[in-house]
Structure 1
Amino acid sequence: MASEAEPFDGNPASPKNLLEPVPFYARLREVDPVYWSDAVHAWFITRHDDVLNCFRDPRLSANRMGFYQAQLGPLEQIGPGLIDNLMLSLTHQMSMRDGPEHVRMRRQTSVGFSPQALDAWRPAIRHTAEQLVARVKSQGRMDVVKAVSRQLPPIVIADFLGIPQEDRDKFLEWSEPIADFNAPAAGTDVVALARRGNVAIGELVDYLKALIEKRRHDPGQDALSQMLQAQEAGRMTLDELVSNTSLILFAGHTTTTDQISNGLYALLTHPEELHKLQSDLGLMRSAVEEMLRFNPAVPYMHRIAAETFELRGKTIKKGDVVFMGLAAANRDPQAFPDPDRFDISRDHLHTKHMAFTFGAHHCIGAGLARRELEITFEVLLTNLPGLRLDEDQAPQLKCHSMMFRGFESLPVRW
Structure 2
Amino acid sequence: MTTAELVFDPFSDEYFENPFEIYRRMRNEAPLYYCPKRDFYALTRHEDVAAALKDHEAFSSSRGCDLAMVQSDTPPQKSIIFMDPPDHRHMRSLLNKAFTPRAVQAQRDTIVEQIDHYLGQIDSDDFDVVQDFSGPFPVEVITRMAGVEPEYRQQVRHWIDTSLSREPGQVGTSEAGVKANIDTAMYYYALVQKRRENPTDDMISRLIAAEIPREDGRLDKLDDIEITGFATLLGGAGAETVTKLIGTAMVLFARNPEQWQKLLEDRELVPAAVEELLRYEGPVQYNVRYTVKEAHVPSGVIPAGKPVFLLMASANRDERAFTDTDKFDIERDRTEAQNLGLGYGIHSCLGAALARMESVIALEKLLDFMPRYEVKWDGLQRVHMQNVAGYSHVPVRRLAS
TM-score normalised over the length of structure 2: 0.89
What percentage of residue pairs aligned between the two structures are identical? 29
Paired residues in the alignment total 389
- After superposing the two structures, state which structure 1 stretch, 226-235 or 100-109, moved more: 226-235
Partner of 1:222: 202
Q: CA contact under 8 A between 2:47 and 2:298: conserved in structure 1?
A: no
User: Equivalents in 2 of 1:172, 1:361: separation in Å?
Assistant: 23
Aligned-residue CA RMSD (Å) = 2.4
* Match among 343, 361, 364 for residue 350 of structure 2: 364
| Cα shift readout 1:353-389 (whole Å, capped 9, x = no counterpart) | 1111110000111111111111111111112221221
Partner of 1:80: none
Q: Confirm whether residue 152 of structure 1 aligns to residue 121 of structure 2.
A: no
Following TM superposition, the consecutive aligned residue runs of length 4 or more in structure 1 with deviations greater than 6 angstroms are: none
Q: CA contact under 8 A between 2:49 and 2:311: conserved in structure 1?
A: yes
| Cα shift readout 1:140-164 (whole Å, capped 9, x = no counterpart) | 1111111012111111111211212
Q: C-alpha displacement at 1:178, in angstroms?
A: 2.4
Q: Quickly say closer, same or farther: Cα 1:25–1:226, change in 2 above 3 A.
A: same
Q: C-alpha displacement at 1:256, in angstroms?
A: 2.3
Q: Quickly say closer, same or farther: Cα 1:28–1:385, change in 2 above 3 A.
A: same
Q: Quickly say closer, same or farther: Cα 1:342–1:313, change in 2 above 3 A.
A: closer
User: Equivalents in 2 of 1:331, 1:189: separation in Å?
Assistant: 25
Q: CA contact under 8 A between 2:68 and 2:171: conserved in structure 1?
A: no
Partner of 1:247: 233
Partner of 1:277: 263
Q: Confirm whether residue 21 of structure 1 aligns to residue 19 of structure 2.
A: yes
- Structure with a larger share of its residues in helix: 1
- After superposing the two structures, state which structure 1 stretch, 141-150 or 250-259, moved more: 250-259
Q: C-alpha displacement at 1:98, in angstroms?
A: 0.4
Q: Confirm whether residue 186 of structure 1 aligns to residue 168 of structure 2.
A: yes
Q: Confirm whether residue 212 of structure 1 aligns to residue 212 of structure 2.
A: no
Partner of 1:55: 53
Letter matched to residue 38 of structure 1:
P
Partner of 1:83: none
Q: Confirm whether residue 397 of structure 1 aligns to residue 394 of structure 2.
A: no
Q: C-alpha displacement at 1:71, in angstroms?
A: 5.3
* Match among 391, 395, 400 for residue 407 of structure 1: 391
In the TM superposition, 1:116-135 aligns within 5 A as: 116-135=102-121
* Match among 167, 174, 177 for residue 152 of structure 2: 167
Partner of 2:30: 32
Gaps of 5+ in 2: 213-218
In the TM superposition, 1:210-359 aligns within 5 A as: 210-230=190-210, 234-312=220-298, 314-349=300-335, 351-359=337-345
Q: CA contact under 8 A between 1:125 and 1:372: conserved in structure 2?
A: yes
User: Equivalents in 2 of 1:403, 1:208: separation in Å?
Assistant: 23
Gaps of 5+ in 1: 75-86
Q: CA contact under 8 A between 1:262 and 1:406: conserved in structure 2?
A: yes
| Cα shift readout 1:266-321 (whole Å, capped 9, x = no counterpart) | 12210110000111111110000000100011111110010124445644111111
User: Equivalents in 1 of 2:265, 2:362: separation in Å?
Assistant: 17
Q: Quickly say closer, same or farther: Cα 1:243–1:36, change in 2 above 3 A.
A: same
Letter matched to residue 190 of structure 1:
G
| DSSP-derived class of the 2:93 partner | helix
Q: C-alpha displacement at 1:12, in angstroms?
A: 3.3
User: Equivalents in 2 of 1:101, 1:234: separation in Å?
Assistant: 12
User: Equivalents in 2 of 1:189, 1:291: separation in Å?
Assistant: 27
Q: CA contact under 8 A between 1:18 and 1:402: conserved in structure 2?
A: no
Q: C-alpha displacement at 1:125, in angstroms?
A: 0.5
Letter matched to residue 355 of structure 2:
A
- After superposing the two structures, state which structure 1 stretch, 256-265 or 54-63, moved more: 256-265
User: Equivalents in 1 of 2:298, 2:197: separation in Å?
Assistant: 56
Q: CA contact under 8 A between 1:395 and 1:409: conserved in structure 2?
A: yes
Letter matched to residue 187 of structure 1:
G
- After superposing the two structures, state which structure 1 stretch, 169-178 or 360-369, moved more: 169-178
User: Equivalents in 1 of 2:70, 2:47: separation in Å?
Assistant: 30
| DSSP-derived class of the 1:352 partner | coil
Q: CA contact under 8 A between 2:342 and 2:349: conserved in structure 1?
A: yes
Partner of 2:215: none
User: Equivalents in 2 of 1:41, 1:33: separation in Å?
Assistant: 16
